[in-house]
Amino acid sequence: MEKFDKLDKKILQLLQNDSTLNTKQIADEVGLSITPTYERIKRMERTGVVEKYVALVNKEKIGKNLVVFCNVSLLVHSKPLLKKFEQAVSKLDEVMECYHTAGTFDYLLKVVSNDMHHYQDFITNKLAATENIGHVQSSFVMTEVKHKTAYKIS
């Protein structure tokens, strides 16, 4: 884990909240001149603390109205079959996140779809076509209560 001083933490919070801020704006906020602020940001990029900059898109405005958390159990748990499943699911555009979990299910997928019809098509023609699927359980999001993308830096 990287060690951050107070200024690094403030820079990271600013970048997480608005990555379009330029170096001068960030420098003004943290009370540094532009050059040391730029060097701190570049160091965090170089060391992988800042992985990339993205635009967060409103999913409803692009027609992605259904969010589903999909639990998946595999039939066989050999390392080659786990990797094969992970590679296959990584190629599915509807899968936004995939976690290998402990417990009743092997994987938790966050799937985003236009509607129930598209989700059914995804399950039937894409996920079920993946080798070694044993059981799938879907939980449909009714209301998104909290959605954060910024980590608290402590």
Domains of the chain as residue ranges with CATH = 6-46 (1.10.10.10), 59-140 (3.30.70.920)
The pLDDT score that the predictor gives to residue 39 is 98
d(CA 112, CA 114): 7
Task: Give the tens place of pLDDT for each residue, 61-107.
Answer: 999 999 999 999 999 999 999 999 999 999 999 999 999 999 999 99
0.95 exceeded by the pTM? no
pLDDT at residue 6 greater than cutoff 90: yes
The pLDDT score that the predictor gives to residue 37 is 98
